[in-house]
């Protein structure tokens, strides 16, 4: 969805950490951010599915974004959060290691992912963004949440 917005409009990016990497997603896709509550693991599910949980009477799938992106996860420092996003009429939880702040960016500032991003990861990223402090990888939510298995 971010592809189409590269015309130069502003957008707000909610940023979070997966291990050491700072990632961001369009804040408009976020429904709410919760602490990690009881997650029921689903045996035989794809490895990136952390489990399912009860979100006010609705059962939602919780995705471990780190595993999905093939990243090494940081240790749980009690700061893990569950970002509930609304995508294709379904609420899905994304487990991230730590929530950072919301930054306001211009979409034209998003650059192509660096060449050394590995193949698997490439499709999950729309690009990277340089801020004063750090590099933010902008996630392509549609790819991250696609139910297709990642091609290796």
Give whichever of 46 and 114 is closer to other proteins, judged by the CB atom. Answer: 46
Q: Out of 44, 75, 77, 116, point to the residue binding other proteins (CB under 8 A).
A: 44
- Which of 107, 121, 115, 100 minimizes the C-alpha distance to 24? 100
Minimum CB separation of residue 87 from other proteins in Å reads 10
Nearest CA among 117, 126, 128 for reference residue 144: 126
Largest CA distance in the chain: 44
Smallest distance from other proteins to CB 84, Å: 12
Q: Which of 10, 12, 90, 111 binds other proteins (CB under 8 A)?
A: 90
Asked if 132 touches other proteins (CB under 8 A), the answer is no
Which of 7, 35, 38, 101 binds other proteins (CB under 8 A)? It is 38
Can you tell me the distance from the alpha carbon of 61 to that of 107, in angstroms, rounded to the nearest whole number?
A: 30
Q: Quick one: the chain helix, strand, coil %, rounded to 5?
A: 15, 45, 40
Tokens 């590995």 belong to: 118
Q: Which residues bind other proteins (CB under 8 A)?
A: 38, 40-46, 49, 52-54, 57-61, 63, 88, 90, 92, 145, 147
């Amino acid at each position: 969805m971010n592809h189409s917005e590269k015309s130069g409009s502003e957008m707000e990016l909610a940023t979070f950490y997966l291990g050491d990497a700072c990632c961001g997603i369009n804040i408009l896709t976020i429904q709410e951010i919760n602490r990690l509550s009881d997650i029921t693991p689903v045996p035989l599910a794809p490895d990136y599915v952390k489990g399912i949980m009860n979100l006010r009477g609705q059962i939602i799938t919780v995705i471990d974004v780190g595993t999905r992106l093939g990243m090494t996860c940081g240790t749980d420092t009690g700061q893990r959060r569950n970002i509930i996003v609304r995508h294709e009429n379904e609420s899905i939880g994304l487990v991230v290691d730590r929530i950072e702040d919301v930054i306001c960016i211009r979409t034209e500032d998003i650059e192509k992912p660096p060449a050394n991003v590995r193949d698997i990861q490439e499709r999950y990223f729309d690009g990277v963004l340089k801020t004063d402090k750090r590099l933010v990888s902008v996630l392509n939510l549609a790819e991250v949440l696609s139910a297709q298995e990642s091609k290796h």
